Amino acid sequence: MAEAVVASVLEEALRQASERIAKKITEGKKLTSIDVIILLLDQINKRIDDTNRRIDDLKEEVKLLRQEVSSIKSDIINLLKERLTGT
């Protein structure tokens, strides 16, 4: 729980800092090294979030595929049992 709170606070801090930096850029001001690092961190954070979403999507797909394979396996077992018992 605390990890989620820290992550959301950091995300908000990055968002605000990025907005401040965007304002500097539109005003034609020079960016500092820290500004560039903050922009990079913001981009990395966005990519990590996107990657986490894709991982979650893949986990769900794998779960559904496992259920489908399990169902097919059960069907095959039942068919083989029927053939062996002659029913």
On whether residue 83 sits in a domain, the answer given is no
Confidence of residue 87 (pLDDT cuts 50, 70, 90): low
Q: Say what the pTM is.
A: 0.68
On whether residue 78 sits in a domain, the answer given is no
Residues 6+ apart with CB under 8 A from 35: 21, 24
On whether residue 24 sits in a domain, the answer given is yes
Average pLDDT over residues 6-24: 90
Report how far residue 3's alpha carbon sits from residue 38's, in angstroms, rounded to the nearest whole number.
21
On whether residue 76 sits in a domain, the answer given is no
Pick from 7, 70, 72, 4: nearest CA to 41: 7
Write out the residue range of the structural domain in which residue 39 sits.
2-62
Which tokens belong to 48?
């990590």
In this predicted structure, the answer to whether residue 2 has a pLDDT above a threshold of 80 is: no
Structurally, the chain folds into a number of domains equal to 1
On whether residue 11 sits in a domain, the answer given is yes
Residue 8: predicted pLDDT:
85
On whether residue 79 sits in a domain, the answer given is no
On whether residue 50 sits in a domain, the answer given is yes
Contact 21, 38 (CB under 8 A): yes
Q: Which amino acid is at 63?
A: K
